[in-house]
A and B are shown apart, each in its own frame.
Chain A
């Protein structure tokens, strides 16, 4: 495939191109669009929840449907929106930041995406097939064992498939960062976003297997009559809680650490300063990841683990505030005395700092095991985790999208629309969730589909719902901005922000081989160094030569589709043994794909030197 052939194609050819692509930048776009779609879906579910709670004893949703809404809102937002959006940004940017031409396992990268997508689609098929899962995004046993219908089965299979995709993605990023850094790009010269990608991938590697096992146990219990959580046969429901949170707590750091990385890069770019305390930032990231594994039982303070266990986990949890505090102060330190540009990306970043700090402080309050008996399962908890996840992760994703949009799509997002959507979303966010702290302290429990009137909860819930709609409008304007920009937006130069890191040294959007010549890195913020001390351009580390690129393949798509079919088989074989056929067909398809993959040699192809020379600089 020549470079020219890659550009001039019809619609079907473009679809085929995306179905078979192993290019990290295209996979990133797929992640961003799929994640964005699920984000809108989860947002819609959130609005339904808030409409139901707009007034006391509302009957907009039935109790059962409300349970499905909260379950799907949580599950969708965490697994199908936040994670893929972050994986999309990592895919798009991390290889560029370290000076790589692709990721270590391009085939697996594509497989990871398709597994995630088919898992997400499988999960959402439940809406049309007799009801969505309704046991909460945590799916605690024995509730999840008792839940009638197939809702929870869809949860199990959907998350199992998309979780496998995430694990594959994590290993891929790890190896990429270890082996494919450009000459001179030592670990301590990597931009913070690449660092957090690395640490996040480590967390994915160690956290997701616990979820895998938990889901298997749930699956065996629900679909094959095992007795892990069946107390009459000696089962123990606490095992699920442990496994779920051994995965679930690192998971929140999997979400927040990349956001920290995005903010670090944005702040140093728009303050025109080297990141303050770079080493401390890296160290704090690693420390958060390390401590993040030792705190999961703070979700289980009221389970009855005993005072010793509670005390240990309370202290470990509070300890996490220290590295997080280091980070907050380092961001402030970076901005201090800097020449600050305030645009949409920076607005999201500036809004993040106080919002996330509030979430962090309620986190320390919740970490106190004795006080937690009071807060547990109230709206105080809901307020806390929305402050960290929306105020941290969603703000981070939106900031990152504004910052890297020109690099990924070649056009700069409209600033006016960007600022408008920021202000609406930001005000709406605080209206929605700040009041929920007080609702929770007044005793409003989470996950109830109604509340009674004249208990002091009416006004607060109304305000919260109004806020949710403001967030909805803000989100919608962001979507309009994307459409507007793709139609009318100005074409972005290679370096629209006067950037510091390597991704700004190549055209926007980058050619599919990223770097014509592998760059030579001379320090932290390599492009900035060349701008201030060098020629303004990155020095190549090699003469112009042939570039080796991986082969495209349709196998990841078919393989994931096979697992998707098998998923239905597993879910419905409980009703009728004929569905076992679907398992055989689905798994067979996947296995045949694996067999083809291992029997065929994939040597990739070369872009020849002459072709590269013909391309204008």
Chain B
């Protein structure tokens, strides 16, 4: 059986796979651009009450960054367990740092 494997077939399979992958990347790029436009839009038009704007902006940023990490940087793929562990570790330390510096700096 092993002799029958056609290298061309393997290659075309691989090419197809990375093409599909590229399609996903393009979709995520479109979404990222969309999120950015929404974010700038709501600030530019003053459409939403100030109290909701800030959390909304942050959510849009986080979702966009998740696309960046999981699709552009392939964190969703196999072999990325340790990278994602370290990124989440960094995010954990980062959140604590930001929380402290924005909440408990004395005034």
Q: Judge whether A587 is part of the interface by a CB distance below 8 angstroms.
A: no
Q: Judge whether A31 is part of the interface by a CB distance below 8 angstroms.
A: no
CB within 8 Å for A242 and B101 given contacts A178-B82, A236-B106, A303-B106: yes
Looking across the interface, which residue of chain B has its beta carbon closest to that of A175? Answer: B82
Let me know if B101 and A206 touch, CB within 8 A: no
Q: Judge whether A480 is part of the interface by a CB distance below 8 angstroms.
A: no
Let me know if A206 and B106 touch, CB within 8 A: no
Let me know if A202 and B105 touch, CB within 8 A: no
B93 contact from A236, A293, A297, A305, Cβ within 8 A: A293
Proximity bits, A304-323, B CB within 8 Å = 1, else 0:
11100100000000000000
Proximity bits, B69-82, A CB within 8 Å = 1, else 0:
00000000000001
Let me know if B97 and A305 touch, CB within 8 A: no
Q: Judge whether A238 is part of the interface by a CB distance below 8 angstroms.
A: yes
CB distance from A132 to the nearest CB of B (A): 30
Residues of B within 8 A of A178 (CB): 82
Residues of A within 8 A of B90 (CB): 205-206
Bound: A306/B103 CA distance, A: 11
Bound: A294/B92 CA distance, A: 10
CB distance from A362 to the nearest CB of B (A): 25
Q: Judge whether A442 is part of the interface by a CB distance below 8 angstroms.
A: no
Q: Judge whether A479 is part of the interface by a CB distance below 8 angstroms.
A: no
Looking across the interface, which residue of chain B has its beta carbon closest to that of A289? Answer: B89
Bound: A242/B92 CA distance, A: 16
Let me know if B100 and A242 touch, CB within 8 A: yes
Residues of B within 8 A of A303 (CB): 106
Let me know if A294 and B106 touch, CB within 8 A: no
Interface-central residue, B89, B96, B97, B103, by most chain A CB under 10 Å: B97
Residues of B in contact, count (CB < 8 Å):
14
Proximity bits, B25-63, A CB within 8 Å = 1, else 0:
000000000000000000000000000000000000000
Bound: A239/B102 CA distance, A: 10
Residues of A within 8 A of B101 (CB): 239, 242-243
Let me know if A238 and B105 touch, CB within 8 A: yes
Let me know if A297 and B100 touch, CB within 8 A: yes
Let me know if A236 and B104 touch, CB within 8 A: no
Residues of A within 8 A of B104 (CB): 242, 297, 305-306, 309
Residues of A within 8 A of B106 (CB): 236, 238, 303-305
CB within 8 Å for A210 and B97 given contacts A178-B82, A205-B86: yes
Let me know if A242 and B82 touch, CB within 8 A: no
Q: Judge whether A246 is part of the interface by a CB distance below 8 angstroms.
A: yes
CB distance from B28 to the nearest CB of A (A): 28
Bound: A306/B92 CA distance, A: 23
Residues of A within 8 A of B86 (CB): 174, 202, 205
Let me know if A239 and B97 touch, CB within 8 A: no
Let me know if A236 and B105 touch, CB within 8 A: yes
Bound: A49/B95 CA distance, A: 40
Let me know if A246 and B89 touch, CB within 8 A: no
Let me know if A206 and B100 touch, CB within 8 A: no
Let me know if B82 and A239 touch, CB within 8 A: no
Bound: A238/B92 CA distance, A: 21
Proximity bits, A204-229, B CB within 8 Å = 1, else 0:
01110010000000000000000000
Proximity bits, A279-303, B CB within 8 Å = 1, else 0:
0000000000000011001000001
Bound: A174/B104 CA distance, A: 33
Question: Which chain A residues (216-256) contact chain B, with CB distance < 8 Å?
Answer: 236, 238-239, 242-243, 246
CB within 8 Å for A246 and B97 given contacts A178-B82, A202-B89, A206-B89: yes
Looking across the interface, which residue of chain B has its beta carbon closest to that of A236? Answer: B105
Let me know if B105 and A206 touch, CB within 8 A: no
Let me know if B100 and A246 touch, CB within 8 A: yes
CB distance from B102 to the nearest CB of A (A): 10
Let me know if B96 and A293 touch, CB within 8 A: yes
CB distance from B32 to the nearest CB of A (A): 26
B96 contact from A174, A205, A236, A246, Cβ within 8 A: A246
Let me know if B93 and A206 touch, CB within 8 A: yes
Residues of A within 8 A of B92 (CB): 293
Residues of B within 8 A of A236 (CB): 105-106
Bound: A236/B101 CA distance, A: 10
Bound: A243/B96 CA distance, A: 11
Residues of B within 8 A of A210 (CB): 93, 97
CB distance from B92 to the nearest CB of A (A): 7
CB distance from A201 to the nearest CB of B (A): 10
CB distance from B15 to the nearest CB of A (A): 29
Bound: A202/B86 CA distance, A: 8
Bound: A246/B94 CA distance, A: 10
Looking across the interface, which residue of chain A has its beta carbon closest to that of B90? Answer: A206
Residues of A within 8 A of B105 (CB): 236, 238-239, 242
Bound: A348/B9 CA distance, A: 65
Residues of A within 8 A of B89 (CB): 202, 205-206
Residues of B within 8 A of A242 (CB): 97, 100-101, 104-105
Q: Give me the 6 closest cross-chain CB pairs, A-B, nearest first.
A: A206-B93, A305-B104, A238-B105, A238-B106, A309-B104, A242-B100
With contacts A239-B105, A242-B100 known, what are 20 further pairs, Cβ within 8 A?
A178-B82, A202-B86, A205-B86, A205-B89, A210-B97, A236-B106, A238-B105, A238-B106, A242-B105, A243-B97, A246-B96, A246-B97, A246-B100, A293-B92, A293-B93, A294-B96, A303-B106, A304-B106, A305-B104, A309-B103
A-side residues, CB < 8 A to B, are 174, 178, 202, 205-207, 210, 236, 238-239, 242-243, 246, 293-294, 297, 303-306, 309
Q: Pick 17 A–B contacts, CB within 8 A, sort by A.
A: A174-B86, A178-B82, A202-B89, A205-B86, A205-B89, A206-B89, A206-B90, A236-B106, A242-B100, A243-B97, A293-B96, A297-B104, A303-B106, A305-B104, A305-B106, A306-B104, A309-B104
